[in-house]
């Protein structure tokens, strides 16, 4: 960056080389993403971006320490800074002071008025005092003359470090009183009235924050928790290993639950790590478009950053420093405000031109992207048969008790009503039941059923278990089960295991007779799922209903509609919830989210905001490293807290389908984050404004900030632009763009795997189903759309403020989302439970929400365009539109774009989801169900239990359990066609090695004994198969 002062480039060579190496590593690691064709250009942009980041976020205290080594270095720094601003100052004509003379020829002398002095004051009068009558005019005075001779009366305190006369500055003070001119005793400045949230100290000279007690208490609690966690981990690490066989078993179950090639079943190979998830459908079309969405955002950010850097190359590097120049002294502030305002107006055409391009590119790109992916969904639906193609949803069922043969009653009623229009093709009916009060009992018997099948299917495991016990030097009678679960540390272990749903007390001592009684007294919901033998039969039935055919079940008229979701996405425990009941739950969830935002703001953020407002931000009085770390923790903590609250509220609404829950979570999370952002930025900006008014901050035309009465003038002023710009950038980086996503792989994936392995290996109580849960893979959710949209909203707010933050924010945004894409890629292929996103519903919501950042760009274009209309030499708020007219125009652009964007999506893009020329599907349901274990029948827990204990089918309907597909048995008479044993043998006969043999390369290694046990166990299982 050639226009920066030379002094700021000294000593940065090593840091720059390190940053360049880091950027190269980033690009080389993530080169496989969809923008691989742009990798080399992206590499150059990343190098420039990292240099920009270093320039902005490197602590200024570091520079000070480097140059305070000697007076010579300090003089060089001051000279370089004065030379830079004097050279750029319009009033100086690029060469001298405001009068156009040579600065060197007009050296400062005592008591002489100087405008923008370039040299230090002489030793006889070493302090620069600002004139009271004229803005940015100074006199060189002695220490005892501060506040006299026509200088600012309040600036009576000599500051020999910065060679200036300063005002009274007491942290958190609203009314500060300085001593007499020249006084240097301890009470040279004292506070009369503190800001809200502060109280006078005991000596009545300073202010003490009332809110810091919250952060001190939180810090103490956090430190204690960390110490306890370390002690607990060390104690666990050094306990003897007694349960290796269950580690091997849990790892094997974990491997079966991964996303495997072919998707169906629990036998297969994992996808290669270089799989292009933007093209390869590994977990449904919904997962593919999720990665396409992220790739499109990366490409969007890259193009806009490249265009902005193009403007920098054409218009000059001033665009990289406008808004971030240092202002530690009144003279530096005068230079920065005066030059910055004028230069910003000279270059505002670049911001307006960039905004126009960004808006058109974003809007048109969103429509093109939507059409392309709508065609992708349509093509995928035409080329692939899914189970939802054969299912229709029957709604309006009357309540029936389980003692009746409900499935036969409903099936007969549907077949009779439809007749030859699809009635003869009704294969089975899966009825929804209200078992909300019996969830524990149902889960217990399903686990017992799966456990008994697994025991009978894998008889070789007992022999493998004896081999492991022998290798470990243990006998079958050695339990040592509760050694790590007693006492205080055992209590901590139990709490952690309960979070992972490993509950030793969750045992239902129940009998089969009690279960039968529960099943017989259970009532149906109003919904059932009718399975047809062919897709054409389902379509005939729907056509008959649309033509007036009625389905009557026990005098109740029922409706029939097409199913759009795959069975994996169905929440059977929520099927009984009616739309009216869900509406009330949704209302309560909104109230809970509002309370969560309010609690966070008033209990934690408000005390911090008052503390931050005690800094003036005008004369270098800015918060230190500790304060900034508190801010990072607060922002990250708020996002984590709102994430948890949004997830809980979305679950409380009890939707029928997973996609509906994800949609509601995205809405809750984005709404709460935007509300939290508005509250945070508004509150801190207002408090900063009050404090800057208190210290007498000026604007570019010489007026005091306190004299500005219009919001437009205040917002366009340099002190506010600097304060809001820095705060917004800090909010983006590292608080939002980096920290939450950087820690997620360790907290959500690697650490649970490591701790879970240790817990299982050191406690024999954790076995079977409990061991599976301890090492269970995490779920893949579509909530990433919420993260993307919020980050987009943040980055699109940057054009409202100073230009220097444009390149910085877009660079960090780009790097962050490259990392997010890489993490999601790694998680999907190696650390996520098998999933299948079939519906375009969540992706469609993501496309709709993209209208918000584009609308913000439109609003920023109006704001900056109006600012440019006033001309280069215009005053604050000198544009054509003023006050409420400007606000109305901005809101019209924002709201107008949202309406237009949504209308185009609905009228132009959405029709591409439908294929009017779709060929008829001739494949029957039985063939598709032979390949896919999860159907609307096998995922219904009550249907499976009734099949065994009430209907007494032989064999009964097997429950679909992820990772246990090999245990499922077919029974075509009841609609069960999947043969787990046959599928496993078929895959083995094709030469497919077991997934667990390849899993070691993707997880942490097991202990030697556990490794041997795992190999022996697999050998015995292969023999049995």
pLDDT tens-digit map of 958-1001: 999 988 888 899 999 999 999 988 877 776 665 444 433 433 33
Res 50 pLDDT > 70: no
Report the distance separating Cα 332 and Cα 130, nearest Å: 12
Selected residue with higher pLDDT from 61 and 710 = 710
Q: Is there a contact between 519 and 942 (Cβ–Cβ < 8 Å)?
A: yes
H-helix segments, 508-657: 512-521, 535-546, 579-600, 606-612, 625-652
Residue 924, classed as helix, strand or coil, is coil
Mean pLDDT, range 398-423, rounded to an integer: 92
Place of tokens 């009558």: 133
For the ranges 403-412, 704-713, 716-725, 772-781, the lowest mean pLDDT is seen at 716-725
**Cis ω on the peptide bond leading into residue 1023 (within 30° of 0)?**
no
Confidence class of residue 577 from pLDDT cuts 50, 70 and 90?
A: very high
Helix (H) or strand (E) holding 395: strand 391-395
Cα dist from 60 to 100, 326, 622, 685, 725, whole Å: 32, 9, 10, 22, 17
Mean pLDDT, range 237-250, rounded to an integer: 91
pLDDT at 16: 42
- The mean pLDDT of the chain is 79
Q: Which of 730, 840, 846, 729 is nearest to 787 (CA)?
A: 846
Res 281 pLDDT > 80: yes
Single pTM value for the model: 0.81
Helix (H) or strand (E) holding 306: helix 285-315
Res 1013 pLDDT > 70: no
* Percentage of residues in the chain having pLDDT higher than 90: 42
How confident is the model over 462-497, as pLDDT tens digits? 433 333 333 333 334 444 444 456 778 888 888 888
Tokens representing 862? 């109006």
Report the distance separating Cα 524 and Cα 576, nearest Å: 8
pLDDT at 66: 36
Nearby residues of 49 by Cβ (< 8 Å), 6 or more positions away? 23, 305, 807, 808, 810, 811, 812, 814, 815
Report the distance separating Cα 726 and Cα 802, nearest Å: 9
pLDDT at 53: 41
Q: Which of 641, 640, 655, 649 is nearest to 667 (CA)?
A: 649
Report the distance separating Cα 283 and Cα 263, nearest Å: 7
pLDDT at 478: 42
Report the distance separating Cα 406 and Cα 522, nearest Å: 11
pLDDT at 553: 93
pLDDT at 200: 82
169: Cα within 13 Å, side-chain hemisphere: 23
Report the distance separating Cα 338 and Cα 323, nearest Å: 12
Selected residue with higher pLDDT from 203 and 706 = 706
Most confidently modeled range among 628-632, 787-791, 1012-1016: 787-791
Q: Is there a contact between 460 and 1021 (Cβ–Cβ < 8 Å)?
A: yes
For the ranges 159-163, 508-512, 920-924, the lowest mean pLDDT is seen at 508-512
How confident is the model over 89-109, as pLDDT tens digits? 443 333 333 333 343 434 567
Confidence class of residue 353 from pLDDT cuts 50, 70 and 90?
A: very high
Res 871 pLDDT > 90: no
For the ranges 135-149, 323-337, 433-447, 538-552, the lowest mean pLDDT is seen at 323-337
């Amino acid at each position: 960056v050639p226009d920066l002062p030379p002094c700021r480039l000294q000593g940065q060579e090593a840091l720059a080389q390190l940053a360049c190496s880091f950027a190269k590593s980033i690009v080389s690691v993530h080169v496989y993403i969809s923008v691989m064709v742009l990798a080399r250009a992206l590499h150059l942009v990343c190098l420039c971006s990292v240099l920009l980041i270093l320039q902005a976020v490197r602590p200024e205290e570091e520079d000070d320490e480097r140059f305070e080594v000697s007076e010579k270095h300090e003089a060089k720094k001051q000279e370089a800074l004065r030379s830079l601003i004097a050279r750029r100052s319009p009033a100086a004509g690029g060469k001298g002071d405001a009068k156009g003379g040579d600065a060197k020829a007009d050296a400062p002398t005592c008591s002489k008025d100087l405008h923008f002095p370039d040299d230090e004051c002489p030793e006889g009068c070493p302090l620069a005092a600002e004139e009271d009558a004229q803005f940015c005019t100074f006199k060189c005075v002695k220490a005892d003359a501060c506040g006299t001779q026509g200088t600012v009366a309040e600036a009576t305190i000599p500051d020999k470090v910065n060679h200036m006369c300063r005002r009274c500055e007491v942290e958190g003070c609203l009314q500060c009183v300085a001593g007499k001119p020249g006084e240097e005793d301890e009470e040279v400045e004292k506070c009369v009235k503190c800001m809200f949230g502060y109280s006078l100290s005991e000596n009545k000279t300073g202010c003490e924050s009332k809110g810091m007690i919250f952060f001190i208490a939180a810090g103490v609690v956090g430190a204690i928790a960390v110490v306890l966690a370390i002690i607990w981990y060390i104690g666990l690490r050094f306990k003897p290993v007694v349960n290796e066989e269950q580690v091997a078993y849990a790892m094997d179950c974990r491997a079966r639950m991964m996303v495997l090639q072919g998707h169906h079943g629990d036998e297969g190979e994992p996808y290669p790590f270089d799989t292009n998830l933007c093209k390869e459908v590994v977990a449904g079309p919904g997962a593919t478009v999720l990665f396409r969405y992220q790739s499109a955002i990366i490409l969007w950010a890259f193009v806009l950053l490249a265009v902005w850097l193009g403007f920098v190359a054409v218009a000059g590097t001033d665009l990289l420093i406008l808004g971030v120049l240092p202002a530690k002294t009144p003279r530096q502030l005068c230079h920065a405000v005066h030059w910055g305002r004028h230069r910003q107006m000279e270059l505002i055409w670049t911001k307006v031109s960039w905004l126009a391009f960004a808006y058109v590119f974003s809007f048109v790109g969103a429509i093109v992207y939507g059409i392309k992916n709508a065609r992708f969904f349509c093509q995928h639906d035409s080329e692939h048969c899914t189970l939802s193609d054969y299912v229709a949803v029957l709604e309006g069922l009357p309540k029936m008790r389980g003692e009746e043969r409900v499935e036969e009653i409903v099936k007969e009623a549907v077949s009779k009503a439809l007749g030859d229009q699809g009635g003869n093709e009704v294969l089975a009916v899966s009825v929804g039941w209200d078992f909300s009060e019996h969830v524990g009992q149902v889960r217990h018997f399903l686990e017992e059923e799966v456990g008994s099948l697994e025991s009978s299917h894998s008889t070789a495991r007992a022999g493998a278990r004896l081999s492991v016990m022998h290798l470990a030097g243990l006998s079958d009678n050695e339990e040592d089960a509760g050694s790590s679960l007693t006492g205080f540390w055992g209590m901590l272990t139990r709490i952690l295991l309960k979070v992972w749903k490993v509950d030793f007390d969750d045992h239902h001592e129940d009998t089969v007779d009690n279960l039968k009684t529960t099943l017989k007294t259970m009532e149906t919901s109003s919904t059932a799922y009718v399975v047809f033998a062919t897709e054409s039969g389902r379509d005939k039935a729907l056509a008959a209903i649309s033509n007036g055919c009625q389905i009557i079940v026990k005098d109740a008229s029922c409706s029939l509609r097409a199913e759009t979701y795959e069975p994996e996405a169905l929440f059977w425990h929520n099927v009984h919830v009616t739309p009216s009941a869900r509406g009330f739950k949704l209302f309560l969830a909104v109230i809970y989210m509002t309370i969560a935002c309010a609690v966070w703001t008033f209990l934690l953020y408000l005390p911090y905001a008052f503390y931050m407002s005690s800094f003036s931000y005008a004369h270098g009085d800015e918060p230190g490293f500790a304060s900034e770390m508190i801010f990072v923790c607060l922002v990250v903590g708020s996002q984590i807290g709102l994430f948890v609250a949004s997830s809980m509220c979305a679950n409380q609404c009890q939707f029928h389908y997973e996609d509906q829950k994800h949609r509601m979570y995205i809405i809750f999370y984005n709404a709460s984050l935007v509300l939290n952002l508005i509250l945070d930025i508004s509150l801190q900006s207002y408090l900063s404004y009050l404090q800057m008014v208190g210290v007498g901050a000026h604007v570019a035309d010489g007026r005091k900030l306190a004299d500005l009465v219009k919001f437009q003038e205040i917002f366009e002023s340099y002190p506010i632009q600097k304060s809001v710009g820095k705060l917004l950038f800090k909010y983006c980086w590292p608080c939002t763009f980096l920290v939450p996503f950087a820690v997620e792989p360790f907290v959500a994936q690697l650490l649970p795997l490591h701790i879970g392995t240790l817990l299982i290996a050191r406690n024999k109580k954790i076995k079977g189903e409990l061991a599976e849960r301890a090492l269970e893979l995490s779920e893949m959710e579509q909530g990433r759309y919420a993260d993307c949209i919020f980050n987009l909203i943040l980055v699109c707010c940057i054009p409202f403020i100073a230009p220097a933050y444009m390149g910085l924010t877009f660079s960090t945004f780009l790097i962050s989302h490259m990392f997010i894409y890489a993490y999601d890629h790694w998680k999907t292929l190696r650390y996520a439970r098998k999933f299948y996103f079939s519906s375009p519903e969540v992706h469609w919501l993501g496309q709709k929400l993209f209208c918000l950042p584009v609308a913000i760009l439109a609003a920023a274009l109006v704001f900056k365009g109006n600012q440019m209309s006033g001309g280069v030499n215009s005053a604050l708020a000198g544009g054509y539109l003023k006050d409420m007219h400007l606000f109305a125009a901005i809101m019209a652009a924002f709201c107008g774009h949202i309406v237009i964007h949504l209308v185009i999506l609905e009228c132009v893009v959405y029709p591409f989801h439908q294929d009017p020329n779709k060929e008829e599907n001739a494949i029957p349901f039985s063939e598709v169900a032979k390949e896919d274990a999860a159907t609307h029948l096998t995922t219904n827990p009550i249907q499976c239990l009734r099949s065994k204990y009430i209907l007494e089918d032989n064999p009964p309907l097997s429950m679909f359990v992820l990772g246990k597909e090999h245990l499922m048995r077919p029974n075509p008479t009841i609609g069960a066609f999947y043969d787990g044993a046959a599928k496993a043998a078929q895959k083995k006969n094709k030469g497919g090695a077991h997934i667990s043999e390849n899993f070691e390369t993707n997880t942490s290694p097991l202990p030697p004994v556990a490794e041997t046990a795992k190999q022996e166990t697999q050998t015995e299982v292969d023999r049995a198969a």
